[in-house]
Amino acid sequence: MASRATDRPCAAAGGFLSTPLLAVRNFRRTFGSRVVVEDLSFELGPGDRVALWGPNGAGKTTVLRYLAGTLSATRGEGTIQGHPIGSIRARDRTGVSLSQERSFYMRLSGRANLLFFARLRGLGKGAAARAVGSLEEELELGEILRERADRCSTGMLQQLGFARALLGGPDLLVLDEPTRSLDEQASERLWGALERRSGTAVLLATHRREDLEHCGSRIHLPQ
């Protein structure tokens, strides 16, 4: 069954924002004859914290992949700071951490991975090292950065993925079940990092009611 948003984020309480950071209009995505998401529209402004909420198969990850630029819309359109979703400029402004992370170089250490992705973000060698060092301290990643990625647990890779999403100071964070495999201390560090980035918009998919407590509003995607 197609998913449709029934709880709108804060922008809809008083109508659409005049200058949204993220705007999605009438997003529809099908896979063959199956309609996964139908007629989804919403907006986020700077600092908004919005949860995508719904059961497995409701289309949460599909929406996030669209915002990350790795999946196109069957119909509809969206922009990030006025740039079409999927464009290079939109991707430059978006930090992404999807569940079941598999896109790291598994034979490299966590540190080497973050340094590589920091350079892809356009940081020079010195700036990349400083950015990774800052995240290492903030998120307490010392053990993870020393370990090869293929020797990291699911929770360790999830923390590494979150750190990568923060590189370059993106305006929008797209997070897929960011606390699912984390212990209580790691979850607290994650939310602490987001609180310190109060101007960054966050859209996250979650099954956890604890995560909802950190979000100002939610988009409900029923199955």
Tokens read off for 135: 């995240």
Q: Which residues contact 101 (CB under 8 A, 6 or more apart)?
A: 157, 158, 160, 161
User: What is the rounded CA–CA span in Å between residue 209 and residue 197?
Assistant: 22
Element (H, E) at 133: helix 125-139
Q: Are 194 and 162 in contact (CB under 8 A)?
A: no
Instruction: Encode pLDDT of 133-185 as tens digits.
Output: 999 999 999 999 999 999 999 999 999 999 999 999 999 999 999 998 899 99
pLDDT band at 126 (very low <50, low <70, confident <90, very high): very high
DSSP, residue by residue, 148-209? BGGGS-HHHHHHHHHHHHHTT--SEEEEESTTTT--HHHHHHHHHHHHH-TTSEEEEEES-H
User: How far is it, in rounded angstroms, from Cα 111 to Cα 133?
Assistant: 9
pLDDT, one tens digit per residue, over 92-116 is 999 999 877 678 999 999 999 999 9
- Per CATH, which fold does 1-93+170-223 belong to? Rossmann fold (3.40.50)
Predicted local confidence at residue 1, as pLDDT: 40
Q: What is the pTM of this model?
A: 0.89
Half-sphere exposure of 157 (CA within 13 A, CB side): 17
* Tens digits of residue pLDDT in 78-91: 999 999 999 999 99
Please state, rounded to an integer, the average pLDDT across all residues of the chain.
Answer: 90
Looking at the chain, the domain(s) classified CATH 3.40.50.300 span 1-93+170-223
- pLDDT at residue 132 greater than cutoff 80: yes
* Biggest alpha carbon–alpha carbon distance for the chain: 50
| pLDDT digit string, tens, across residues 14-44 | 455 567 999 999 999 999 999 999 999 999 9
Whether 45 contacts 21, CB under 8 Å? yes
Asked whether the beta carbons of 95 and 84 are under 8 A apart, the reply is no
Residues 6 or more apart whose CB falls under 8 angstroms from that of 138 comprise: 189, 193, 196
- For 16-66, the three-class secondary structure string (H helix, E strand, C coil) is CCCCCCEEEEEEEEEECCEEEEEEEEEEECCCCEEEEECCCCCCHHHHHHH
